Structure 1
Amino acid sequence: MSWFRTVVIKSFTKHSCPSKFTSFPRTPFVSLMNFSSEPTHEAKKSSEIVQYSGLGPTRPNEKPRVVVLGSGWAGCRLMKGLDTDVYDVVCVSPRNHMVFTPLLASTCVGTLEFRSVAEPIGRIQPSISTAPGSYFFLANCKGIDTEEHVVHCETMTDGADNLPPWSFKISYDKLVIASGAEASTFGINGVKEHAIFLREVSHAQEIRRKLLLNLMLSDVPGISEEEKKRLLHCVVIGGGPTGVEFSGELSDFIIKDVHERYSHVKDYINVTLIEANEILSSFDVRLRQYAMRQLTKSGVRLVRGVVKDVQSHKIILDDGSEVPYGLLVWSTGVGPSPFIRSLEFPKSPGGRVGIDEWLRVPSVEDVFAIGDCGGFLESTGKQVLPALAQVAERQGKYLSGLLNRIGKDGRGRANSLGGIDLGDPFVYKHLGSMATVGRYKALVDLRQSQDTKGLALAGFASWFIWRSAYLTRVISWRNRFYVAVNWATTFVFGRDISRI
């Protein structure tokens, strides 16, 4: 097989890379080389000069390149606002869509379908699909070389068993880190192995499959009463908006659908919400009390406690009590991802990438950080903003305007920001918070902070405001149509309980 390997390598080296790409040394066709036990001298010599493609520095006749790491709220709002007549846009992310997280809990029980909360990147910024210098790469960033203005990436090949990941490089003129955060486990043993987070569409799909599987297994003859109770015990850890909304959706699902379609096991299914402090701690105290009453009325058991250990079928609390479960959903906030922790940038309190008032990483040139992965440095005198969608979206909008302005002034190239007036710094004003608690009830808190007064509503009117607000906030008209149709279908026919 050595002659075949040599022919393949020679034929590969004859083809030049496209003009938009530059080349970096690498040995290709590793899987082909493994067919021969000992490569020939000629093959070894050829493999040393084989190249693989990457995006090199932009040329003077090309537009400056903005590289965006991530496809969350911050990154997508930034890409949507960037002027593609000024910049080429390259997005690097392990997912090719944005998740509309406020409605993600509804997909877990079939109130909405998964496509309703996922917006493809190509629809948010069409130039990524059409412009010759703009791209989307399904990959993870593994490192940043700020001296050379290069990011090191590795492809995502999940589900492609015969395709190992490979590395490539991208040169940037401006780099925006918007890679988000990861769910906080607080170092508790067993969380990653046994709990399901609720941050991605894949998480919602896993929750839905697990929930329906447990419902069907509990109806099988021969299962013990104790095991049936365990399988149908749904435990939610974390009393923030995500945990409360999921608990409310789950209680609605039980009352309206399980009682009708799984009548044999309807008396066994239960929901427990465990929180170390107060649920919805950022909301007005009256709204918190209303939420507690409403959840309790819906059958959700509220427990105050701290999880110490997570095992395959039960969790251990700080008081030593054991809580068996069939489904465990973990929603206790977020923290810096391993990638963010690996970056040798100054960090803000909490471990995020440190930024100044203009969302720049001040220790390096042409690097910005927005969303959950960035936080104000202590030297700015500003507090680190909460990890909220509206914070990330507002930062993305601000930074797109800033980059457009400096790009039109001819400062879009690398190392061209010296001495430029960046204008007004970023200022965040909280618009309020909303959360649904099930049974056509919701909370609306329009205070700008916990220490100020403002409008606070609860009940059906708040639920109507909640639905109306999020329907208008869904990114595209296509998804707004999906959401409206799903809501109407669920209201008339009930939730879809197919396990696909």
Structure 2
Amino acid sequence: MAFLRSLSRCLSRSFSTSAAAASIPSAGGGLSPTFVGREKPRVVVLGTGWAGCRLMKGIDTGIYDVVCVSPRNHMVFTPLLASTCVGTLEFRSVAEPIGRIQPAISRAPGSFFFLAKCTALDTESHTVHCETVTDGAGKTTLEPWKFKVSYDKLVIASGSEASTFGINGVKEHAIFLREVYHAQEIRRKLLLNLMLSDVPGISENEKCRLLHCVVVGGGPTGVEFSGELSDFIIKDVHERYSHVKDYIHVTLIEANEILSSFDVRLRQYATNQLTKSGVRLVRGIVKDVQPEKIILNDGTEVPYGLLVWSTGVGPSPFVSSLQLPKAPGGRIGVDEWLRIPSVQDVFSIGDCSGFLESTGKPTLPALAQVAERQGKYLANLLNRIGKAGGGHANSAANVDLGAPFVYRHLGSMATVGRYKALVDLRQSKEEKGLSLAGFVSWFIWRSAYLTRVISWRNRFYVAINWLTTFVFGRDISRI
């Protein structure tokens, strides 16, 4: 009887029709438009990257309801993602749940998080079409639910995708390094190859192939991963896999120069440091990727056991499909206030957006600090609009938007392993400024990123992981 009474209460709550309860999506349903004067205006955010999360952190939930639509329910602290691949950090240390970044999503009746992807956008009716993400649902295949969400203000912060440049076999055989599951896959593959190479009967050639780690792309991600991997080999593999320690090697392939945005002196320092650590640097262009080898444009064949691809980013298929003005590079075009000028109440921030050529502003780099500052700026702008009474759809035409967005570069940092790093504080490649390399830079790198980790909880995790790794070495369990 107690169970039946409990079930009855649940059903009565489910079928009671408050505006917030009725807005929980079902198959073919969704969130209907808000009522002016009776409900808070709704901000819909597409994406949980640096830009979207910083926006949600700064939005005033006393003014707006916040609805986030994303295929992942956490933000990834990408600068430290490479460290998780080799066990320097644990995966949860670099992932921050959305509910911690913006608690209203978990608590407020009109705010939600939907594990879904946006498939279409109707700017006339102020509606986004969504489809739930069901991968990883287990043995039972779940059909995705389709639903619609009406918005008063829409922020497209869906990020970008790794560029493959149309090269055959990249998506099938290479591993990208942009998400936590990418890092998990790299770690499992690396440790599997180490253990397989120690099995009796493996030929010398196969052992060399299994233990050859190839990184394509000499940007900060590729260099930092190569540095972490060389550290792992020197400090852990040589001690714990002594039978195969002479077979494991790292090759970094770059078409031009590594770390091309850094000062020339720092680039040379990084080259020397990586070479000392055993990383082989190859200048070349990948022409074809096959299951066990890649082929360069000069015909050179490079066998590999692990292939990590980090050659930059480009627009996602969703961004490319939107019938919106585009900036150079295929990004969504925005004006100085991060609005999409051809439609009402739609903004775009992060890697998926760029200034329209008509603004006269240069294309901003796809960096975390750009996205984070855009998110902070837009949160303040939306709060300003909401306080002025322009929060609901089509009601912000006469609101003073204030100063436009201005980006000022704070500098670049990258670690190259062995307690060495680079710090380049120049405003741009053409300007002069402070640049450092070595142990002091490594200390600055770690200190800066520790303070930038989103929450005190994760800062504590990261600090403990670093301390544990320093004292006991990396955890190389294949779980």
d(CA) in 2 for partners of 1:183, 1:56:
35
What is the aligned partner in structure 1 of residue 20 from structure 2? 20
* Length, aligned pairs only: 465
- Out of 27, 31, 46, the position equivalent to 1:55 is 31
- The residue identity in structure 2 corresponding to 1:397 is K
What is the aligned partner in structure 1 of residue 115 from structure 2? 138
- Out of 325, 335, 342, the position equivalent to 2:314 is 335
Other structure's SS at 2:446 match: helix
Other structure's SS at 2:291 match: coil
- The residue identity in structure 1 corresponding to 2:251 is T
| Contact 1:21 1:56 survives alignment (8 Å) | no
| Contact 2:197 2:207 survives alignment (8 Å) | yes
Unaligned runs of at least 5 residues, structure 2:
1-10
2:216 pairs with 1:240: no
- The residue identity in structure 2 corresponding to 1:258 is V
Q: What are the residue-to-residue correspondences of 1:11-410 with 2, within 5 Å?
A: 19-20=19-20, 52-60=28-36, 61-160=38-137, 161-410=140-389
Listed one character per residue, the Cα deviations across residues 333-392 of structure 1 (whole Å, up to 9, x for unaligned) are 000000000000010000000000000000100000000000000000011101000000
What is the aligned partner in structure 2 of residue 34 from structure 1? none
Listed one character per residue, the Cα deviations across residues 409-442 of structure 1 (whole Å, up to 9, x for unaligned) are 1110100121332110000000000000000000
- Runs of 4+ that moved beyond 2 A: 14-26
d(CA) in 2 for partners of 1:486, 1:25:
40
> What fraction of aligned residue pairs are identical, expressed as a percent?
83
d(CA) in 1 for partners of 2:179, 2:68:
18
- Out of 416, 419, 422, the position equivalent to 1:443 is 422
TM-score by length of 2: 0.95
d(CA) in 1 for partners of 2:159, 2:118:
12
Q: CA offset at residue 53 of structure 1?
A: 3.2
- The residue identity in structure 1 corresponding to 2:118 is C
- The residue identity in structure 1 corresponding to 2:113 is F
Listed one character per residue, the Cα deviations across residues 201-220 of structure 1 (whole Å, up to 9, x for unaligned) are 00000000000000000000
Unaligned runs of at least 5 residues, structure 1:
1-10, 29-51
| Contact 1:105 1:204 survives alignment (8 Å) | yes
Other structure's SS at 1:280 match: coil
d(CA) in 2 for partners of 1:290, 1:394:
30
| Contact 1:17 1:53 survives alignment (8 Å) | no
What is the aligned partner in structure 1 of residue 7 from structure 2? none
Please, what is the CA RMSD of the aligned residues? Answer: 1.6
Q: CA offset at residue 162 of structure 1?
A: 3.5
Structure 1 residues 23 and 290: CA distance shift in structure 2, 3 A: closer
TM-score by length of 1: 0.91
Other structure's SS at 1:20 match: helix
| Contact 1:214 1:326 survives alignment (8 Å) | yes
Q: What are the residue-to-residue correspondences of 1:395-434 with 2, within 5 Å?
A: 395-434=374-413
